[in-house]
Amino acid sequence: MDEPFRASPATASVVVTSARAFATSATQASRSDLRASLIGAAFLLFGFGGQAVRNLVDWPGFILASLIMLVIAVKVLIEYRPTLRVVPPALLVFMVICASSVLWSEYRWVTVFGTAAQWATALAGVLLAVSLDRVRFMRVFELSMVALLGGSLLFEVFVTVFIGHRFAPFTVERRPDLPGAFYWSENHLLEGGPIQGLVGNRNLLAFIALLAVVAIVVGMLHRKRIGKLDMTGLALAGITMALTRSATVIVALFVVGLVGGVIMAFRRIPPQYRKLSFGALVAAGFLGLLVVLQHSSTVLGLLGRSDLTNRVDVWRKVFHIAEQNPILGIGWTSYWAPWAKPFHNLVVIDGVQYLQAHNALLDVWLQVGIVGALAAVALVVWTVWRAIQAAVHAETKDVAIAVAPLLLLTALLAQSLTESRLLLEGNWMLFVALSVQLWMAGPVVKRAFASRSVTAHPVESSTR
């Protein structure tokens, strides 16, 4: 009769050591994931809530906080050791053109600072893409947007209950003739809005609500369940949209829903018919756009608007300046510098000096000319195309996460028709993060990093 197997002390020791090593590795991975999530949330909150920081500590404090965030981003990226291979060439080309405009800029120091802000924000976007996988990125993004919504509603309640009147930022001189746009909150909560929240602007707050809706719905579909936090987030987003009354975001919400429905229907079409169907969809899209433009007054009326809220006047003035330097533009600036020509008092409406063209493509043309505008269009087209491919070809179990980049890009681009926020702060950070994610998911970069994962965990030092 064979003797029963008995593990030798050496074998048992190996098993125990391996188990401990696995447990330690799992714990370290969990801690690394938590750390990456917290850092990602901090950057998202700072990017989309930047105006709240400026309202508290003014521009000098905001710049100092930005430098601290930049140092953190660089330190964390050094740990992950990504290379330029993770950056889409189209993104790099556009940013290099913007940086190169310092050579012909009409305000060189402004261009230097504007370029620094653009590259630093893009660095944060790269950090989000390489440190968080797609599922964790969407979860962190969802929680960050919901946190901003909850904080904004609490802020409006605080103003209503404890202040009882319009509330200006601490950094703004209080005077009787202060324009409404300078107030942090106009105390309209009990009147049913419009409210401005922590970001001090109803359109920006409504857009955060839209992004939150996209992230929450994607998360629910991916997890295949509806949690209490999901319901709370959707409630906060719905209340915020109702209280902000942003026509731009209402249109963007409709477009995002339409794109989501179309892409899910498109996935059901047999592959051999998809090219023909895609062409038909593009033609239908252009036809729909023409119909909307032809009946724009009716559409605006349905949204409770009689016009585009002075945007046409802004576009006209910007176009007049842009056509004077159509090829290379007048120099990159990101935010318009109100003290520099030609931006000083370029557009002043109701005592408020405007610091953007209220159209992202028009702003790009103004600052870096046709050359930069073509590069920007190429970047957007490439990114959207990659997002469409990812959504169409994803496996069924991953479809919700795979469709998320396309839905978020749709929201960003819809807003960019009447705002230039795509080029600034949180919106630019999000666009860069999505672009890098989509690029890293492609076959070229996958082969380049076949031997090591860029997005899993920081590279441990061999001396530790």
For residue range 223-243, what is the model confidence (pLDDT) as tens digits? 988 889 999 999 999 999 999
6 domain-assigned: no
Could you give the C-alpha distances from 220 to 60, 209, 223, 286, in angstroms and in order? 41, 16, 5, 32
78 domain-assigned: yes
462 domain-assigned: no
SS3 455: coil
16 domain-assigned: no
Joined tokens for residue 311: 């945007």
* Average pLDDT of the chain, as a whole number: 85
In the chain the first and final C-alpha atoms are separated, in Å, by 50
Average pLDDT, stretch 450-454?
43
82 domain-assigned: yes
Q: Which pLDDT score, from 0 to 100, does residue 286 have? A: 73
Q: State yes or no: cis peptide before 270, omega within 30 of 0.
A: no
CA 436 – CA 389 distance, rounded (Å): 15
Burial of 452 (0-12, 13-18, 19+ CB in 10 A): exposed
The boundaries of the domain holding residue 126 are 31-448
SS3 329: coil
20 domain-assigned: no
Joined tokens for residue 301: 């009326």
Q: Which pLDDT score, from 0 to 100, does residue 306 have? A: 53
Burial of 377 (0-12, 13-18, 19+ CB in 10 A): middle
Give me the number of domains the chain comprises: 1
3-state SS, one letter per residue, for 243-259? HHCCHHHHHHHHHHHHH
CA 455 – CA 439 distance, rounded (Å): 13
Q: Which pLDDT score, from 0 to 100, does residue 111 have? A: 95
142 domain-assigned: yes
Q: What percent of the chain has pLDDT over 90?
A: 58
Q: What is the DSSP letter of 352?
A: E
Q: Could you tell me the pTM of the whole model?
A: 0.88
pLDDT digits (tens, 9 = 90+) for 350-397: 778 888 899 999 999 999 999 999 999 999 999 999 999 999 888 878
15 domain-assigned: no
* pLDDT higher than threshold 70 for residue 13: no
